[in-house]
Amino acid sequence: MLDTPIFLAQMKRNQWLTGSALRKISEKKLISLIAHARSSVPFYKKSLGGIPMRSIDDLQSLPILSKTDVRDNAGSFVSSSCSKRALHATYTSGSTGIQVPLFYSHAESAYGVAFETHHLTECGAGIFDLQVRIAHYESRPNLLQCLGVFRCRYLDVRADETETLLRLASLRPGILISYPSILLPLARINSSEGLNLRLKLALSGGETLTPMARNEISSSFSCPVFDRYGSMESSWVAWECKEGSLHIQEDMVVVEIVGQHGKNLPDGKVGTIVVTPLWRRAMPFIRYSLGDSGSFGPPCTCGRGLRTLRVARGRQDDILVLPSGKTRSARSINLMDDIPGMLSYQIIQEQPSLFVFRYVPSDGLGEKERKEVESRIRAGCLGEEIRVEFEEVPSIVRGRTGKIQTVVSKMKADSGKGV
Ligand SMILES: [Zn+2]
């Protein structure tokens, strides 16, 4: 029961340490985690072999772990020091569609709660502010929440946006937490219907928050919007401070930016984001690739010693195959948030030269907006000859985790043919 306050106290204290003091903390935890994994986790007994681990720099000598490694060997990632019956289990698929089973102990589940509480309070939330979370799940209130501290209400991510907004208007929360693809349509309806719901702050995560979406959410709800970064496998990795920097929770997770051969890149260089959560012992993830690109940013003016992260737009999972056979990241055309007339959208590449633009209308798309959508998709396809069809839909089907996969390609990158 004390796991959350212990994590929280460490986060509050450590954030103001210097970079070198933070590095010492994470290095000590990392060396201990690797020793634990080597001695009790079958997968790492084999994969880490006798590679020496004396400092954080040695981490880059270890192999990178992918989603498929975990999916194909799930059972061999669980530490023999844990009783499997005492562990909780969940699955993640994410935008790759690759299901990764996750096992975690009760104590480990406290990390995510502590991280969020830390983030909210650093951004100005009060302990008695009501939080509303629009999500695909609902957690039971913990002891503090039963006493009215950090109260949280859950609304279903699949509900109709107008209904959700009316619920919000009656609940009057101070804090709203969801994906940007949920917050943005709510902001648009809030403005267009004149509901003028105001918030103390909004917390976004799980998908890319574009500057346009941030501005629109912020202006509609008259509140600041804070972003955070993570995945189901790693839990939260970084959070945005009031100065706008995404701070890595360095005392709890090691983040590396790696190049093609798995070696660390210098600060500022964009590479693949690889994480090692230091608190995850029941099923350790060592050098786990999240499939995103990013770089380390400069120190933040807020004075925290925690390093900053810049996440480049784009998961690496979605690959478009163009008519010429060239491949592109699907996110190269994921920039439609500012086009008026719709609440949400999804782009599906049905064939190399055919894209279907499905959208939920607000006012509807006029000729000018359709042309704009078409020209952006074409630009994302490097000007190749493609056709765009428009389809008005009542809602966009969300994935199992409640996220919208904005760009879906039905092509296989290796063949260029539809599947
Ligand atoms: Zn900062």
**Per-residue pLDDT tens digits for 276-306:** 999 999 999 999 998 788 999 999 999 999 9
Between 142 and 164, the more confident residue is 164
Mean pLDDT confidence for 169-183: 92
> What one-character DSSP code corresponds to residue 264?
B
**Token representation of residue 122:** 């650093």
pLDDT at 195 over 60: yes
pLDDT at 417 over 70: no
Cα 240 to middle of ligand 1, angstroms: 7
Cα 306 to middle of ligand 1, angstroms: 8
Calpha distance 49→335 (Å, rounded): 45
Architecture of domain 319-409: 2-Layer Sandwich (3.30)
Cα 172 to middle of ligand 1, angstroms: 29
Calpha distance 341→280 (Å, rounded): 44
pLDDT band at 415 (very low <50, low <70, confident <90, very high): very low
Cα 60 to middle of ligand 1, angstroms: 27
**Fold match between 124-223 and 319-409?**
no
pLDDT band at 88 (very low <50, low <70, confident <90, very high): confident
Mean pLDDT confidence for 171-197: 91
Cα 337 to middle of ligand 1, angstroms: 27
Cα 15 to middle of ligand 1, angstroms: 10
Cα 248 to middle of ligand 1, angstroms: 10
Cα 188 to middle of ligand 1, angstroms: 29
Number of alpha carbons in the 13 Å side-chain half-sphere of residue 243:
11
Calpha distance 245→238 (Å, rounded): 9
Architecture of domain 3-110+230-315: 3-Layer(aba) Sandwich (3.40)
Q: Exposure pattern of 256-285 as b/e (b: 16+ CB <10 Å)?
A: bbbeeebebbeeeeebbbbbbbbbbbbbbb
Q: What is the DSSP string of 104-147?
A: E-TTTTHHHHHHHHHHHHHTT--TTSPEEEEES--PPP-HHHHT
Determine the pLDDT at residue 96: 46
354-361 sheet: strands from edge to edge = 387-392, 354-361, 342-351, 407-409
Q: Please name the helix (run of DSSP H) or strand (run of DSSP E) that holds residue 368, with its range, or none.
A: helix 367-380
Q: Name the nearest CA neighbour of 344 among 138, 183, 164, 201.
A: 183
pTM of the model as a whole = 0.81
Q: Which range has the worst mean pLDDT, 27-31, 86-90, 152-156, 249-253?
A: 86-90
Domain 124-223 -> CATH class: alpha beta
Cα 267 to middle of ligand 1, angstroms: 17
Average pLDDT score over the chain: 87
Enumerate residues with CB within 5 Å of ligand 1 (an ion): 241, 243, 245, 300, 302
Determine the pLDDT at residue 99: 56
Q: Name the nearest CA neighbour of 306 among 385, 252, 265.
A: 252
pLDDT at 402 over 70: no
Cα 362 to middle of ligand 1, angstroms: 37
For the stretch 317-341, pLDDT in tens is: 466 888 998 777 665 675 677 788 8
Cα 205 to middle of ligand 1, angstroms: 17
For β-strands 131-135 and 152-156, DSSP reports them as parallel
For the stretch 226-246, pLDDT in tens is: 999 998 889 999 999 999 999
**Token representation of residue 295:** 């770089």
Which residue carries 């590679």 as its tokens? Answer: 51
Cα 47 to middle of ligand 1, angstroms: 37
Q: Where are the domains of the chain?
A: 3-110+230-315, 124-223, 319-409
Calpha distance 286→59 (Å, rounded): 9
Cα 17 to middle of ligand 1, angstroms: 13
Cα 234 to middle of ligand 1, angstroms: 22
Cα 308 to middle of ligand 1, angstroms: 8
Calpha distance 359→390 (Å, rounded): 8
Identity (one letter) of the amino acid at 72?
Answer: D
Cα 408 to middle of ligand 1, angstroms: 35
Q: Name the nearest CA neighbour of 236 among 275, 272, 262, 194.
A: 275
Cα 305 to middle of ligand 1, angstroms: 9
